[in-house]
Amino acid sequence: MFTRRHFTTAATALALTLGATAAKAQDGELYIPLISKGFQHQFWQAVNQGAEQAAEELGVRVTFEGPDNESQVDKQMDMLAAALANNPAAIGFAALDSQAAIPLLRQAQDAGVAVIAFDSGVDSDIPVATAATDNVAAAALAADKMAELIGGSGQVAVVAHDQTSRTGVDRRDGFVDQIEEAYPDIEIVAIEYGGGDQLESTEITRALLAAHPDLAGIFGTNEGSAIGVVNGVRESGAEDIVIVGYDSGQAQIDAIRDGVMAGAITQNPVGIGYETVKAAVAAARGEEVPADIDTGFYWYDQTNIDDPEIAAVLYQ
Amino acid sequence: MTSADTTAEPATGAKAARRGSAQQKLLAFASLIALVIVFSIASPNFFQVSNIMAILQAASVNGVLAIAVTLIIITGGIDLSIGTLMTFCAVMTGVVLTWLGAPLILGVVTAIATGMLSGLASGTFVAKMKIPPFIATLGMMLILKGLSLIVTGTRPIYFNDTPGFDLISRGSLIGAVIPGFPVPNGVLILFIVAGVVAWILSRTVLGRYTFALGSNEEAVRLSGVNADAWKMAIYAVSGAIVGIAGLLIASRLNSAQPALGLGYELEAIAAVVIGGTSLSGGRGTILGTLIGALIMAVLTNGLRVLSVAPEWQTVVTGAIIIVAVYADQLRRRDPS
C-alpha cells in the first residue's frame, strides 16, 4: 500500500535527483542561447528542433527565442542583451538587422563569447561562422524551374515577404536577376510584399490576377507568401498558373501533392539549427570552425516529395 | 438599407443628427463610388466580376471586425483585442473540429461562444473594474495572442478533416441560386452581420443604450439604468461578432494560424473612422462602417491592380484615412 511515508520518501528522492540534475547543469554544461528572427513560424520551430537535437548529442544547454515578427529589430536587441548577461559559452544569432546588432556583438566579442550567425549573415567579421542557406542561389533555382514550367516565355509575378530583410531581398533579387539574365522572353510584371501574412498575400494574389490576365506564374518567397498565392489562385478559379513556393509546412506540402503548386524550394531548417549549435560548441571549446557553413537547399515537387532525402528536411 | 439608419442621440437634436449622419454616409458613399470610377478608368482590369468579388471578399474579414468594434466605439470605448481575439476564436474552432473531431456546427458555436466570453471579460474589466478600455483591451490583446500560441503549441491547426469548412467563406450560396453571380459566402455573411447589427442598434434597447452610454454615461446611470450590465452586454455581443470574423478567416485559410491577428484591429478601426463613426463616442452607423471597409478594400486592391509601388500604397492609404476624417470634421463644423 502506498502510504504517506512512502510518498514523502519518494518526493524527497525526486527532489534530490532534480536538485542534483539542476546543479550539474549549472556547473558542467555549456549554455548556448540562440536568438532567432522568430519562433512562431514552423520554419523557426524546425530550426529549434535541429538545435535541440545537437544540444542533446553534444550535452549542452540551448535556449531558443525570437521576436514576434521580423520587423521588431529593437525587441531582438533586448533578447540579445539579456542572453549576453547570462554568461553564455557562445551565442547563435539570426540578425534581423545586422548593423543594429554590431555594438552588442562587439560586447560579446570583448567578453570572449563566440558568435555564430545563422539563417542570414551579419555584415561584420565578429561572427566566427555563418550557418545559412544561399538564398540567392536558391531563388535562382526557383527562377530556372519557373522558366522551365511556363515554357521559357510569358509574364510572372513575385509575392515577397518583405523588402528590407536579408532573406527577403536575396530571394527577390536571386529570382529577378536570374530571370532577367537567362530568360529574355519572360517579363516580371509585378513584385508585391505581403509581410508573409497569408491573408494579405491572398489579397495580393487576387489583385495580381485581376491586373495581369495573361499571368503565367507566381513565385511566393516564403511559407506564408506561398500559401497566400495558392489561396488566391484557388479562390479566383484561375487555371494554368504555375506557382513556385519556398519552404514547406503542411499547407504547402498539400498544395504540391494536389498539383495546385508546381513545386518549391526547401531549405534545411533542421540542419541550420543543428550546424549552428555544433559550430557554437566547437568555438566555445576553442576548436577550429569553418567560416561559411552552407546548409543547402533542394527543389521538391510531386515527383520527389516522398524521397527520404527531401522528406527529412520538410516540416509539417 | 433604412434599418442601418441609426441616429446619433435619441434625445437631443435628433433631427440635426439624422441629417448629419445622412450627409456623412453620402460623403463616404460618394468617395467609394469615386474611387471605383477612378480605378476603373485607370485600369481595364479593375472593374471585372472576378476582381469585384476579390474586393468584396477582402472586405469581409475586416468588415466584420470593423462592425464589432463600431459597437464599442459608439459607447465611447475602444477594443484593441479584436485582431488577436479573432485568431483565438479560430484556434478554439480548430481545437473543437480538428482535434476533437466535433461536427461543423459545434465549431461555429465554439467560435462565437469564445468571442462572447472574451468580450464579456473585456466588458467586466471596463465596466466593473473601471479599467480604461484602451488598457483593458490592450491587456486582452496580449493575453489572447499568447493563449493562441500556447493552445496550438505555435503550430497552425488545419481543417482538412472537416469537409465543407472552407465553404463558410469560399462557397457561394448566392451563386447556386443565381448562376453567374458568384458572391462568396464570406461576403454574404458580412452583409447579414451588418443588417442584424444595424437592426440591433436602431430597433432594440441594447442599441439605444449603446448610443446613450457613448453620449452621456452619467445621465444613463442617474436615470437608474444598470449601465455596467449593459456595457458588458455590448462587449459580449461585439466579441461574438469577432468570433464570426474568426470563422471567416479560418475558413479562408483552411487553417487557424496562431501567429496572425496583430494589426488587424487597426485596419478595422480605420474602416470605422472612415465610415464616420466618432472615436469620442455616441455617434456612428453600421452602414458607414461597411462603406469604410469597402473603401479600404477598394483602395488596397486598386493600387495593386494599378501596380503602384508597394511602399507608396501604404502612404496613400494613410493619407486617405486622414483626408476622410478631416472631411468629416469640416462637415460638422459647418453650422448649416
3-state SS track over A241-278:
CEEEEECCCHHHHHHHHHCCCCEEEEECHHHHHHHHHH
Q: Are the beta carbons of A212 and A204 closer than 8 angstroms?
A: no
* Residues A211 and A284 reside in one and the same domain: no
**Is pLDDT of A25 > 70?**
no
Kindly state whether residue B2 falls inside one of the protein's structural domains.
no
Residue B4, all three cell numbers:
442601418
Kindly state whether residue A73 falls inside one of the protein's structural domains.
yes
**Is pLDDT of A9 > 70?**
no
Kindly state whether residue A306 falls inside one of the protein's structural domains.
no
The Cα of A109 is separated from the nearest Cα of chain B by a number of Å equal to 33
* Residues A92 and A174 reside in one and the same domain: no
* Residues A172 and A230 reside in one and the same domain: yes
**Is pLDDT of B4 > 50?**
no
Kindly state whether residue B314 falls inside one of the protein's structural domains.
yes
Kindly state whether residue A303 falls inside one of the protein's structural domains.
no
Lowest mean pLDDT among A139-148, B138-147, B167-176: B167-176
At residue B26, the pLDDT reads: 77
Kindly state whether residue A45 falls inside one of the protein's structural domains.
yes
* Residues A101 and A148 reside in one and the same domain: no
Kindly state whether residue B20 falls inside one of the protein's structural domains.
no
Kindly state whether residue A148 falls inside one of the protein's structural domains.
yes
Kindly state whether residue B133 falls inside one of the protein's structural domains.
yes
The verdict on a CB contact (< 8 Å) between B249 and A210 is no
| Owning domain of residue A232 | 135-266
**What is the Cα–Cα distance from B74 to A250, expressed in whole angstroms?**
42
- On whether any CB of chain B is under 8 Å from the CB of A165, the answer is no
Lowest mean pLDDT among A15-29, A64-78, A127-141, A169-183: A15-29
Chain B positions in Cβ-Cβ contact with residue A163 (cut-off 8 Å): 310-311
Kindly state whether residue B288 falls inside one of the protein's structural domains.
yes
Point out the residue among B156, B252, B304 whose CB comes nearest to the CB of A204.
B304
At residue A102, the pLDDT reads: 84
The verdict on a CB contact (< 8 Å) between B301 and A40 is no
Kindly state whether residue B6 falls inside one of the protein's structural domains.
no
- On whether any CB of chain B is under 8 Å from the CB of A206, the answer is yes
* Residues A147 and A109 reside in one and the same domain: no
Q: Residue A119 — left, alpha, or beta (φ > 0 → left; ψ -120 to 50 → alpha)?
A: left
Beta partners for A293? A131
The CATH number assigned to the domain holding B170 equals 1.10.3470.10
The verdict on a CB contact (< 8 Å) between A208 and B156 is no
Sign of CA dihedral B270, B271, B273, B279: negative
Kindly state whether residue A316 falls inside one of the protein's structural domains.
no
Angle at which helices B227-253 and A198-211 cross, to 10°? 60
Kindly state whether residue B18 falls inside one of the protein's structural domains.
no
Q: What is the ipTM of this complex?
A: 0.77
Helix, strand, coil shares, percent, chain B, to 5: 75, 0, 25
Lowest mean pLDDT among A84-98, B18-32, B70-84: B18-32
* Residues A13 and A122 reside in one and the same domain: yes
**What is the Cα–Cα distance from B280 to B270, expressed in whole angstroms?**
14
* Residues A107 and A164 reside in one and the same domain: no
Mean pLDDT estimate for chain B: 89
SS3 A128: coil
| Residue labelled with grid coordinates 455581443 | B237
| Owning domain of residue B100 | 25-36+45-333
Kindly state whether residue A285 falls inside one of the protein's structural domains.
yes
At residue B21, the pLDDT reads: 61
Kindly state whether residue A214 falls inside one of the protein's structural domains.
yes
* Residues A156 and A204 reside in one and the same domain: yes
Average pLDDT over residues B327-334: 72
Point out the residue among A39, A193, A231 whose CB comes nearest to the CB of B310.
A193
Kindly state whether residue B106 falls inside one of the protein's structural domains.
yes
pLDDT band at B99, cuts 50/70/90?
Answer: very high
| Total number of domains in chain A | 2
Chain A positions in Cβ-Cβ contact with residue B254 (cut-off 8 Å): 251
The most confident of the ranges A95-99, A305-309, B4-8, B110-114 is B110-114
pLDDT band at A299, cuts 50/70/90?
Answer: very high
**Is pLDDT of B25 > 80?**
no
Smallest Cα–Cα separation from B55: which of B243, B295, B239? B295
| Total number of domains in chain B | 1
How many Cβ atoms from other residues are within 10 Å of residue A6's Cβ? Answer: 10
Higher pLDDT, B119 or B322: B119
* Residues A14 and A128 reside in one and the same domain: yes
At residue B15, the pLDDT reads: 52
The CATH number assigned to the domain holding A60 equals 3.40.50.2300
* Residues A207 and A190 reside in one and the same domain: yes
Chain B positions in Cβ-Cβ contact with residue A236 (cut-off 8 Å): 50, 54
Burial level of B75, CB count in 10 A (0-12/13-18/19+)? buried
The Cα of B101 is separated from the nearest Cα of chain A by a number of Å equal to 19
